[in-house]
Structure 1
Amino acid sequence: MANEPKPSAAAAEADDAFLHSCMYFTTNRLSRAITRIADEAFATTGLAPAYGYLIRLVIVKPGITQKELSEKLYITPSTLTRFIDKLQAKGMVERQVQGKTVLVYPTEKGRALEPSLRQASKQLKASYVAVLGEELADLLTSQQEQASEQLER
């Protein structure tokens, strides 16, 4: 083993070239980059971006069902339940049960966050547009939405 020849730089580069043409790898790389930018933008709210968007949806549609929230946020019902549990513990949302349906409402504390959540969303977009340019940012967003819809079928 100690006598094995080391691969040349060109061979090593070729060995990992598949990563740069792999949607799985490149999408995860992009996800990590945009998550870092989103975390920075939402830091002023004291919430992770996913929680901020959840509250925004609840504010826009008080009494939204957990099922609808799960579908809109593209997360599993169990993940949504954990998110709502945390936001409820912070006093930002409340649940009301109607039969088998659970409705989610914003509290006054949750509503009070709306301006800072909107600002964080604007800051997020401004941050990635500053790097990518508006045309590429819009194109990437549109293409990702289209690809996601096709892959989920």
Structure 2
Amino acid sequence: MRGSVDMNFLFTLGELQRLVRAYADKEAARFGITRAQWAVLAKVERNEGMKQTELAEQMEMQPITLTRLIDKLCDNDWIERRGDEADRRVNRLYLKKAGRQLLGKMSGLRSELTATALDGINPADAHRLLSQLEAIKENVRNAIQNNAGEQLKKEQRYG
């Protein structure tokens, strides 16, 4: 059993992520938006007034990539940038009326995508799966942080 998990776990997880992204892109396109744009809109809705730099960090995205996405969202009149009164270099992001309306129209889409993905899986198993995935995510996050700490120690020792 262990061998098959070793061989298939990472491949299956990667393939699942790719398929879910492709499916979400296809469904979001019905609303004239990409999955990445949808993600930005949803984050701004939850944290209106957040700095563009904070959003880039949260989304683990290069600032230039996010800037292009935000430019497109501004062009479509879905969000707006407003300068920060305390710091001219800072842009804060706000949802515009059209963006709020679009998210309202799309509100059922996330549930639809989830229901399709979990078809045939009973709710108790789905909850168990979610908590197991959270545990896996935490394991990997800890491994990354520990490896970064180990690298730093090595560099200090040998640098």
The TM-score by the shorter chain falls in which range? 0.7 to 0.9
User: Is residue 2:116 matched to residue 1:130?
Assistant: no
User: Is residue 2:137 matched to residue 1:145?
Assistant: yes
Which blocks of at least 5 consecutive residues in structure 2 are unaligned?
A: 146-159
- What residue is the counterpart of 2:157 in the other structure? none
Residue of 73, 94, 103 corresponding to 1:114? 103
- What residue is the counterpart of 1:105 in the other structure? 94
Write the mapping of 1:1-153 to structure 2, written as runs, cut at 5 A: 20-21=7-8, 23=10, 25-98=11-84, 99-130=88-119, 133=122, 134-135=126-127, 137-139=129-131, 141-153=133-145
Q: 1:131 to 1:73 in 2, by over 3 A?
A: farther
CA contact (8 A) 1:56 1:117 kept: no
CA RMSD of aligned residues (A): 2.6
Structure 2 CA distance, aligned partners of 1:144 and 1:50? Answer: 24
Q: Displacement, 1:103?
A: 0.5
Structure 1 CA distance, aligned partners of 2:43 and 2:121? Answer: 27
What is the one-letter code of the residue matched to 2:130? D
Structure 1 runs of 4+ aligned residues shifted over 6 Å read none
Provide the TM-score with structure 2 as the length reference: 0.70
Which blocks of at least 5 consecutive residues in structure 1 are unaligned?
A: 1-16
Provide the TM-score with structure 1 as the length reference: 0.72
Structure 2 CA distance, aligned partners of 1:144 and 1:22? Answer: 11
Structure 2 CA distance, aligned partners of 1:143 and 1:149? Answer: 10
Q: 1:94 to 1:152 in 2, by over 3 A?
A: farther
Instruction: Figure out how many residues of one structure are paired with residues of the other and give that number.
Output: 136
Q: 1:148 to 1:132 in 2, by over 3 A?
A: farther
